[in-house]
Copies of this chain bind each other. A is one copy, B any other.
Amino acid sequence: MNASRKQSGKLLYAQSGGVTAVINATAAAVIETCRKHKVTAYAARNGILGALREDLIDTTREPPAAIRALKHTPGGAFGSCRVKLKSLEDDRARYERLIEVFRAHDIRWFLYNGGNDSADTALKLSKLGKAMGYDIRCIGVPKTVDNDLVVTDCCPGFGSVAKYTAVSLRECALDVQSMMDTSTKVFVMEVMGRHAGWIAASAGLAGEGRDDAPHIILFPELEFEEEKFLARVRETVERVGCCVVAASEGIRYADGRFVADAHAGTDAFGHTQLGGVAPALAGMVRDKLKLKTHWALPDYLQRSARHIASKTDLEQAIAVGRAAVELALAGENAVMSVIRRVSDSPYRWKIGTAPLDAIANREKKLPRSFITMDGYGITAAARRYLAPLIRGEAPPPFDRNGMPEYVALKNASVRRKLPAFDA
């Protein structure tokens, strides 16, 4: 591939699904690597919707300092969305529209930064491009706080939410322990991860000994047994004086119902009572064990907490972005840049490549070997895997008022060339 060929097409970058504390670091790496190769990088506004609507952003209008600042700015700088394209047959018009938009703007490389759904979309697009005779290279770039992608050793975004979770849990456990003699005895912290217990497992890094918090972790991979759980809470309070619980939002009863949904109800006004695992568990403990409870549900705070991001996670987010551009420009297609673990201790990793069809639509759950026999804790194997991912701090710069200096891009639109499309 010679230099003139490289510069003849443009690269389109899109973010997909829930954002993370470090997805913008991947974006920054993509843009900086494009600049290095003198390739114009566009970004799709609001993810794949922007590509469908021909709502494109010209990243060349951003100064280098703004792109650098993306590395410490959470959220999704160009917007993201939760739109999943169906099969080529069911969603043909949309896939064809994408190729049409690519053609109109001479987009020759498409980088899709997301999870297994996005890997599927990128894969389908690469096939359709071939079928429609349009030369497009589609590269997946991993991102998901849930850490549920197969093949890659871990997903950028996860390490930071894991660090937030472990640090926050240790901090609030110190709080609970200070007051347990006369106040809260049971504290429940709800964490994300509806289908996979990686984030719940990361809470386990907050402590090491048997009596360290979290005393109970509830994983979505295991059936929730109320009586057994309550017995363990009671026993822990009797032994330790308090019980700190980390619970995945996705735990279910034996019949498959989510605990959060089962305990949703209506309030005195007849309004919907929004569910939540933490309040459901805390209510159970209060009603059945008559113990004082408190609970926390950090929700988006956990996945946007750039201020306590993992340096390892940040470095990997940057590396997968850079590698994805290099793969694209080298002519690779239908692959994803992934993290390969070389060793646990010392922790070493490198960037690898995996075919999208090995990743698309699959889900990596927490292996049973990472969960203790009793179902309430993490094993040494889990610690070996998880510990390196939260290593290192990478705080954002703070301004003189004590607030992080997060950047807002100009996000200048590229002039439309096509008729509107109902995305």
A positions within 8 Å CB-CB of B: 15, 18-19, 21, 46, 49, 73-77, 79-83, 163, 166-168, 170-172, 174-179, 181-184, 187, 189, 205-206, 262-269, 271-274, 276, 279-280, 282-284, 286-287, 293-301, 303-308, 310-312, 387, 390-393, 395, 398, 400-404, 406
The 8 Å CB contact of A80, one of B15, B178, B310, B404, is: B178
CB of A407, distance to nearest CB on chain B (Å): 10
Copies in the complex: 2
**A175: which B residues are within 8 A, CB to CB?**
19, 74-76, 300, 303-304
Chain B nearest CB from A75 CB (Å) reads: 3
Contact B300 A82 (CB under 8 A): no
Given that A267-B280, A308-B307, A390-B402 are known contacts, is A179 also in contact with B19, CB under 8 Å in the complex? Answer: yes
Tell me the interface secondary structure of chain A in the complex: mixed
Chain B residues near A182 (CB-CB < 8 A) = 46, 49, 81-83
Given contacts A19-B179, A279-B279, A310-B402, whether A265 and B267 have CB atoms under 8 Å apart is yes
Most buried by B among A167, A206, A393: A167
A301 and B391 within 8 A (CB): no
Apart from the given pairs A74-B175, A82-B179, 17 other A-B contacts in the complex at a CB distance below 8 Å: A15-B178, A46-B182, A75-B177, A167-B404, A170-B404, A171-B404, A174-B406, A175-B300, A205-B401, A205-B403, A263-B271, A271-B283, A273-B279, A390-B402, A391-B400, A393-B395, A393-B402
Q: Find out whether the CB atom of A81 lies under 8 angstroms from the CB atom of B181.
A: yes
Complex-state Cα separation, A406 to B174, whole angstroms:
9
In the complex, residue of chain B having the shortest beta-carbon distance to the beta carbon of A169: B301
Check A300–B304 contact: CB distance below 8 A.
Answer: no
A293-B205 Cα distance, complex, nearest whole Å: 31
- Ordered nearest first, which 9 A-B pairs have the shortest CB separation? A75-B174, A76-B178, A296-B299, A171-B304, A175-B304, A391-B402, A265-B267, A81-B182, A390-B402
User: Which of B79, B274, B282, B298 sits near A286, CB closer than 8 Å?
Assistant: B274
> Is A299 within 8 A of B294, CB to CB?
yes
| 11 A-B residue pairings within 8 Å (CB atoms) | A19-B175, A74-B174, A81-B179, A168-B305, A171-B305, A187-B300, A206-B403, A273-B279, A274-B282, A295-B297, A390-B401
